[in-house]
Structure 1
């Protein structure tokens, strides 16, 4: 079950947090949840961190596809896919 949380945060801190999340490819909710999870885990934080990292890792079978359709919003998905395949199998 997911819950909602309303936070009041300084604008400059919020901007930095959003940038941090974007650089890691996650949303801000995931960053806050991860922080709260570590905080609540106390001395076992290292173990909890490892569990969270494994949950966020991309499965091996999808790693080769990561980023291959980054331009999909700029044109037809099939065109982007064809371009990717042509470059891959030159």
Structure 2
């Protein structure tokens, strides 16, 4: 069931949001709905797992890393070389 909601927002924010939505071929109402849904259904308070976007699902598993890979050490080594 859809229900109407009235919001009071800064006019410049509304215009920027409309432009953003238009550039992504989505209505502002749908964009706000998706945003609110993501907040209430995927945060740590609710305990629900975050739903992955199609792009993230597609990219998951593309890079294979060994189980003993130490990403913190690798990044530290990278930064050390970068700033020598």
Q: Calculate the TM-score normalised by the size of structure 2.
A: 0.53
Tell me which of 43, 46, 52 is aligned to 2:50: 46
Measured in 1, the distance between the counterparts of 2:31 and 2:38 equals 11
| Structure whose alpha-carbon radius of gyration is higher | 2
Query: Aligned-pair RMSD on alpha carbons?
Result: 1.8
Higher helix share: 1
Structure 1: 5+ residue runs without aligned partners? 54-90
Structure 2: 5+ residue runs without aligned partners? 55-84
Measured in 1, the distance between the counterparts of 2:18 and 2:49 equals 23
Compute the displacement of 1:46 (Å): 3.1
Q: Calculate the TM-score normalised by the size of structure 1.
A: 0.50
